[in-house]
Amino acid sequence: MIPSDPVIAIVGATGAVGEEFLSILASRRFPHRQLRLFASKRSAGTVVDFQGRKLLVEELNEDSFDGVHIALFSAGKNVSKQYGPIAVQAGCMVVDNSSCFRMDPDVPLVVPEVNGDVLASITKPCIIANPNCSTIIALMAVSPLHRAVGIERMVVATYQAASGAGAAAMRELETQAREFVAGFAYTTAIFGRQYLFNVFSHNSAIGPDGYNEEERKLLLETRKIWNDQKVRVTATCVRVPTLRAHCEAINLTFRDSLSEADARTILAKAPGIRIVDDRAANRFPEPIEASGIDDVLVGRIRADISQEPGKGLDLFVSGDQIRKGAALNAIQIAERFVPAAAGVRAGSAART
C-alpha cells in the first residue's frame, strides 16, 4: 500500500512539533522520495534546510495531498478537522497530533510501545491519532506495570512545559526571561500572565465538573489506549516555566500485588524508558535531561506507604513533550507502515 520510499508531507512544518518531525526524520534516516512541507499562508515561501537540501514551505490547500503517501499533521485541531479527511480521500495515511479524532471510535489512538499491535490490522489509508503528550509520557512508564499486575487507579500531577502550547509559547517564556533581566514589563500574549517564575493551572478549558480538558484527556485516552474502561484516573495539570519536557508525579494502585523490587525489574526492561533513580545523589528525572532525547526518564520509584504492601507505587517521570510526547511517537507510528524504515533504523543510531 505504501511504497518503501514514500512521499511524506508535514502539515504545520514551521511549528515546534513540525520542526521536530524534520529533525527526527533526518536522524532516523526515514526513507522517502520526497518531503513536502505545509503551513499557513503566513509562512508559505519560507525555505527550510533539510539534510543539505532547501525545501520550500507551501500554503496548505485541498490539493496538497495529491501523490502524498504519509502525512504527519501538527497544525491544530481545526486544520486536522478540515484537511485530515481530504488527505485520506487522496489516498494518504494520516498521523494526526491534534486532539480532533482521538476519541473517535473508528480512529486508532496509538503509543507504539503500548498498543502498537492495533496498527497491524490497518490495510487502507486512514487517520491514526497521536495521543496527548501527558498521556504518552505517563503511559510509557506505567503500561509495563499495568501489563504485569493491572492498574486499578492512577493519580497524576503534571508539571508541563511551554512547548505544549506551541513555538510561540516557548518564545514568550524566553522573551520574559530577557525582559526580567532588562527590567522591562512582561509580554503576556500567549497565556495572558507572567509565566517566568510562576506556576499556573493548565490553560485548557475547565468543564462543569472542575476538570480541565488536559486532565480529562488523561482519563479518556488512557482508557482507550489500554482498552480498559474500568481504570480510574484523576489528574491535576499545571504549567511550569520549563521549555520542552514535561514532568509527572504518578501514584498507582494495583489490582494484584507488585513489590517495588519487581516494579524496578519490569521498568528496567521496558522499551523507551530509562530509570534515573539515584537516591544518594538526589538524581532523578529532570526536564533539562529529558529534553532532546527519545527515552522517557523514570525515577522516585517507591512503594506507596499509604497503601497495603504491594498495592501502591509512586513514580516521577520526565519526557520530552515535543519528541516522545508528539513528533517521535507519530513517526514511530508511520514507521510501522514502511518496513524499510525499521531496517534503516536498525542500522543507525536511534538517538540523536
**202 labelled catalytic:** no
69 in Cβ contact with 2 (< 8 Å): yes
State the CB neighbour count (10 A cutoff) for residue 309. 11
Enumerate residues 165-194 that contact ligand A2P by CB under 6 A. 166-168
- Does residue 79 belong to the site contacting ligand A2P (CB under 6 A)? yes
**133 labelled catalytic:** yes
Shortest distance, CB of residue 321 to ligand A2P, whole angstroms?
11
State the CB neighbour count (10 A cutoff) for residue 296. 28
- Binding region for ligand A2P (CB under 6 A) out of 99-107, 161-169, 262-270, 296-304: 161-169
Q: What sign results for the dihedral spanned by CA atoms 73, 344, 332, 3? A: positive
28 in Cβ contact with 350 (< 8 Å): yes
x/- map, 6-45, ligand A2P, by CB under 6 A: ------xxxxx-x-------------------xxx-xx--
105 in Cβ contact with 229 (< 8 Å): no
Which residue, 168 or 288, has its beta carbon nearer to ligand A2P?
A: 168
Chain position whose Cβ is nearest to ligand A2P? 15
Catalytic residue among 32, 146, 202, 246: 246
CA 53 to chain centroid, in Å, comes to 27
CB-count exposure of residue 215 (10 Å: 0-12, 13-18, 19+): buried
**50 contacts: CB under 8 Å, gap ≥ 6:** 22, 26, 35
Enumerate residues 257-296 that contact ligand A2P by CB under 6 A. none
- Binding region for ligand A2P (CB under 6 A) out of 102-110, 163-171, 285-293, 300-308: 163-171
Residue 327 DSSP code: I
- Known catalytic residues? 133, 246
Contacts to ligand A2P by CB under 6 A:
12-16, 18, 38-40, 42-43, 60, 75-76, 79, 166-168
